[in-house]
Homo-oligomer: A and B are copies of this chain.
Amino acid sequence: MEELVGLREGSSGKPVTLPELWGPCPRVRRGIRGGLEWLKQRLFCVGEDWYFLMALGVLMALISYTMNFAIGRVVRAHKWLYKEVGDGHLLRYLSWTVYPVALLSFSSGFSQSITPFSGGSGLPELKTMLSGVILEDYLDIKNFGAKVVGLSCTLATGSTIFLGKVGPFVHLSVMISAYLGHVRTKTMGESNAKELEMLTAAAAVGVATVFAAPFSGVLFSIEVMSSHFSVWNYWRGFFAATCGAFMFRLLSVFNSEQETITSIYKTSFRVDVPFDLPEIFFFVALGAICGVLSCVYLFCQRTFVRFIKTNRYTSKLLATSKPLYSALAALVLASITYPPGVGRFMASRLSMKEHLDTLFDNNSWALMTRNSSPPWPMEPDPQNLWFEWYHPRFTIFGTLAFFLVMKVALSFSCLFPIPHLICIPLLSLCPGIGHFQLSAAFPGPWPELPHLGFGPAGAAAFSGAVTHSISTALLAFELTGQIVHALPVLMAVLAANAVSQNCQPSFYDGTIMAKKLPYLPWIRGRKLGSYPVIVEHFMNRTITTLAKDMPLEEVAKVVTSTDVIQYPLVESTESQTLVGTVEKTHLVQALQTVTPGQQSCLQDILTDGCPTQPVTLQLSPETSLYQTHNLFELLTLQSLFVTSRGRAVGSVSWVELKKAISTLINPPAPK
C-alpha cells in the first residue's frame, strides 16, 4: 500500500508522509532526527582511522589471550607428565627434555619452511622500515601464521627456553596493521601512501597487548622511531593500545581468572615511606651496574652470533638443517635446567610468570631464610614459591647469582638460530639483579630493611640499557600497579642508559648492523662540526642523465649499461636542466616497442606515452649535511637530486650520507 504524502506549508522541498506532517512537535522531531543523522555520519563513516585502530587492538588482544591460554595448557600438561612419570631418573629426564626438543624443532622447521622472515624478533626490521626502507615480504600476511605457530611452540617450552613474546608480538601487530591498511586502500580506493601510516601505532599495540600497558606501549613506539615522531601517531597509538589492553584484560576477567581488571604482577610496596632517602644512591648505583652488565651482555651476544655464523660446524648446521640445530640446542638447554641436576640451583621448576611473581616479591628473603632452612619440596608450593630459590648450602643469593649467569648464557645459546628471539624476557631476568643487589648493597647489618623496589628497578634498568629505552621504567610501574618508586627507578634507568649508550649500540641497532640492513647513522654529539659540511662536498657527481634530445641508440646504450631504478631527465644535453625522472622499467618497455625510422630521439618516445615523474624536491649544492640528514630522516627519503641553477649536478642517497657522516666521525688522517 502506498502511503499518503503531503507538502509542508511554505516548503518547496520533497513531500513527507501525512502522519509525519500532522504529528505533534514536527520541529523537535526534525531536530532530533537531524542530530541522529549527524551522529550517524560521524560514527559510521567507514574508512576513518579509529575503526581500524580499534579492530587492530581487539584482534591483537584476542590473539595474545588465546596464545597465552593455549601455552598455559601445554605447560601444565608438561608439568603433570613430569610429576606423574615416577621416580626413575631416566624417565624423568626424558619427560623433561623430550617436550622442548619436540616443540622447538617443530617450531623451527614449520616456520622456516613457510618463510625465512618469521625468525627473529622482527624489531630491527621494523626499525628499518619505519626509517623509510621498504623490505619486501617483511609485512606479508602469509608470514603471520608461521609466526603465530612458531611463537606458541617456543613459548610452550616453558622456562627451559628463555624467550619472550614482545618482539614477535610487535611484528605480528605490524603485519596485521599493514594488512588492514592494504584492505582499506583496496576497498576505499585511496592512495597507497596511507597504507603504512598505522605501523607506529601498531608497535604500541604489540607492547600493550602483551603487558596490558598502554602508556609504555606508546613510549616504546616513540623510542623505536629513530629520529622524529609524528604526534598523530601519538593519538593513534594511545587509542589502539588502550583498546588492546582493555580487551586483553577483559578476556581474563570473562574467563574468571580475575575478579576485575588489574595490573598483571601486583605488588604491595609500602606507600607512606616507600624507601629511605639514602637508598636513592643505591638505586643509581644499581642502574650503573645494570648499564655495565648490559654492555657486557651486548658484547658477548654479538661475539656469540659472530661465532655461530663463522664456525664451520654450526654455520653448516644452520644452513642445511635448522630444525636439527634447534633440537640440539633445546636438548642442551633442557639438560642444564633439569631440576634434580643443575636446575636445582636456578629454580627451573618455576614458569616465567612464577619467576616474575617471586622476584617482584615483597619479602626480604635474606631475613626469612636466616633462622629456618625450609626443605626442598618435591613440587613447588604455590604459597611459597620462593622456596624454589633456596638452597641450604648455596644460600639464596648464590642461587640468584647462578640463575643470572646461566640465564644470560642460555639467552645467547638460543638467541640466533631459533625462530623467535627477544630480549625483553630480560625483564624477568633483571629483578634478580635487583634482589641480588640487596646482598651487595646491604651486607651484614641491614638485611632486615625491606628493600622493596629494587626488583622492578633492576628489571627496568637492565632491559632499558640493553634496548636503549626508557619505556621499561614505565612498564615496571604498569606491571606492578604502583608508581611510588617513580623517581628512583627513572634515575636508575637513566644511569643505565648513560653507560650503555656511550659504550655499545643497542640490541636493535646491533642486530641491524649484523644483518646488514640499511640504516642511517645519527649525527651524534655537538662537536662533530656537521654545520659547515655542505652537499657539494659529498654528493655523488657521476650521475647519468638522459637528455630529451638524446638519440635512441644512445639511450638504449645507457639503459643497458647502468643499473639504477630511475634516471634524471634533462631538457637537453647542453643545458642539463632537470625536468623530471623516468623509470628504467618504463623506458625499457618503450624502447622495445619502438618503430625504427619514426622515433629518433628520447623526446619522441616521451610524447608517445612513456610516463615521467616530476621532481618534487631538489637539493642545492649549498645545503648543509645537517639539513640534508634531517630532510632524509623526516621525510623518509631514499635519494634526492642536486640541482644548481636548474642543472642536475649530482645526487645524494643514503650511501653518500653514511659516507659523509662516517668521515665526520672518523676524519681521514691528513696526508
Q: Contacts A266-B271, A271-B481, A635-B634 hold; do A624 and B620 have CB atoms under 8 A apart?
A: no
Q: Which residues of B contact A263 (CB under 8 A)?
A: 483-484, 486
Q: Which of A230-262 contact B (CB under 8 A)?
A: 230-232, 234-235, 238-239, 242, 245-246, 249-250, 253, 259-262
Q: Which residues of B contact A272 (CB under 8 A)?
A: 262, 266
Q: Which residues of B contact A280 (CB under 8 A)?
A: 246, 261
**Does the CB pair A617–B616 fall under 8 Å?**
no
CB distance from A150 to the nearest CB of B (A): 30
Q: Is A630 an interface residue (CB 8 A)?
A: yes
Q: Contacts A273-B262, A624-B616 hold; do A242 and B491 have CB atoms under 8 A apart?
A: yes
Q: Is A656 an interface residue (CB 8 A)?
A: no
Q: Which of A89-133 contact B (CB under 8 A)?
A: none
Complex Cα gap A268–B482 (Å): 11
Q: Is A170 an interface residue (CB 8 A)?
A: no
Binds B, one of A219-227, A336-344, A374-382: A219-227
Q: Contacts A260-B275, A266-B272, A623-B617 hold; do A245 and B645 have CB atoms under 8 A apart?
A: no
**Does the CB pair A231–B242 fall under 8 Å?**
no
- Chain A, residues 257-298, CB within 8 Å of chain B (1/0): the string is 001111100101001111111001000000000000000000
Checking B47, B531, B618 against A620 with a beta-carbon cut-off of 8 angstroms, the contacting residue is B618
Q: Which of A564-604 contact B (CB under 8 A)?
A: 571, 577-579
Count, chain A residues at interface, CB 8 A: 90
Can you name 20 A-B pairs with beta carbons within 8 Å?
Answer: A214-B486, A215-B486, A215-B490, A226-B231, A227-B231, A228-B230, A229-B229, A246-B280, A250-B277, A261-B277, A261-B280, A263-B483, A263-B486, A271-B481, A477-B477, A614-B621, A614-B622, A618-B620, A618-B643, A631-B635
**Does the CB pair A487–B645 fall under 8 Å?**
no
CB distance from A50 to the nearest CB of B (A): 8
**Does the CB pair B578–A645 fall under 8 Å?**
yes
Complex Cα gap A670–B160 (Å): 71
Which residue from chain B places its CB closest to the CB of A49 in the assembled complex? Answer: B526
A190, A470, A630: residue with the most chain B Cβ atoms closer than 10 Å: A470
Q: Is A15 an interface residue (CB 8 A)?
A: no
Q: Which residues of B contact A20 (CB under 8 A)?
A: none
Which residue from chain B places its CB closest to the CB of A477 in the assembled complex? Answer: B483
- Chain A, residues 420-435, CB within 8 Å of chain B (1/0): the string is 0000000000000000
Checking B190, B259, B483 against A478 with a beta-carbon cut-off of 8 angstroms, the contacting residue is B483
Q: Which residues of B contact A526 (CB under 8 A)?
A: 47-49, 190, 194
Q: Is A392 an interface residue (CB 8 A)?
A: no
Q: Which residues of B contact A19 (CB under 8 A)?
A: none
User: Shortest 10 CB-CB distances between A and B: which pairs?
Assistant: A646-B646, A614-B622, A616-B623, A634-B634, A229-B229, A481-B484, A483-B483, A577-B645, A242-B490, A260-B277
Q: Is A494 an interface residue (CB 8 A)?
A: yes
Q: Is A647 an interface residue (CB 8 A)?
A: yes
Q: Which residues of B contact A621 (CB under 8 A)?
A: 614
**Does the CB pair A234–B222 fall under 8 Å?**
yes
Q: Is A619 an interface residue (CB 8 A)?
A: yes
Complex Cα gap A262–B643 (Å): 59
**Does the CB pair B487–A215 fall under 8 Å?**
no
Which residue from chain B places its CB closest to the CB of A473 in the assembled complex? Answer: B215
Checking B47, B231, B645 against A223 with a beta-carbon cut-off of 8 angstroms, the contacting residue is B231
Q: Is A42 an interface residue (CB 8 A)?
A: yes
Q: Which residues of B contact A17 (CB under 8 A)?
A: none
Q: Contacts A48-B526, A215-B486, A263-B484 hold; do A239 and B494 have CB atoms under 8 A apart?
A: yes
Q: Is A193 an interface residue (CB 8 A)?
A: yes
A223, A486, A624, A634: residue with the most chain B Cβ atoms closer than 10 Å: A486
Which residue from chain B places its CB closest to the CB of A616 in the assembled complex? Answer: B623
Q: Which residues of B contact A214 (CB under 8 A)?
A: 486-487, 490
Q: Which residues of B contact A655 (CB under 8 A)?
A: none
Q: Which of A634-652 contact B (CB under 8 A)?
A: 634-635, 643, 645-647
Complex Cα gap A268–B571 (Å): 75
Complex Cα gap A193–B235 (Å): 30
**Does the CB pair B470–A478 fall under 8 Å?**
no
Complex Cα gap A212–B474 (Å): 15
Q: Which residues of B contact A561 (CB under 8 A)?
A: none
**Does the CB pair A486–B478 fall under 8 Å?**
yes
- Chain A, residues 488-529, CB within 8 Å of chain B (1/0): the string is 101100100000001000000000000000000000001100
Checking B194, B477, B494, B619 against A616 with a beta-carbon cut-off of 8 angstroms, the contacting residue is B619
Q: Which residues of B contact A481 (CB under 8 A)?
A: 271, 482-484, 486
Q: Is A191 an interface residue (CB 8 A)?
A: yes
Q: Is A627 an interface residue (CB 8 A)?
A: yes
Q: Is A615 an interface residue (CB 8 A)?
A: yes
Which residue from chain B places its CB closest to the CB of A634 in the assembled complex? Answer: B634
Known: A245-B487, A261-B277, A618-B620. 4 other contacts (CB 8 A): A191-B531, A229-B231, A616-B624, A618-B618
Checking B222, B494, B615 against A242 with a beta-carbon cut-off of 8 angstroms, the contacting residue is B494
Q: Which residues of B contact A225 (CB under 8 A)?
A: 231
CB distance from A88 to the nearest CB of B (A): 43
CB distance from A433 to the nearest CB of B (A): 21
Q: Which residues of B contact A228 (CB under 8 A)?
A: 228-231, 634
Complex Cα gap A213–B502 (Å): 27
Checking B259, B260, B277, B630 against A635 with a beta-carbon cut-off of 8 angstroms, the contacting residue is B630
Q: Contacts A232-B227, A242-B490, A483-B481 hold; do A617 and B619 have CB atoms under 8 A apart?
A: yes
Complex Cα gap A273–B234 (Å): 30
CB distance from A506 to the nearest CB of B (A): 13
Q: Which residues of B contact A193 (CB under 8 A)?
A: 531
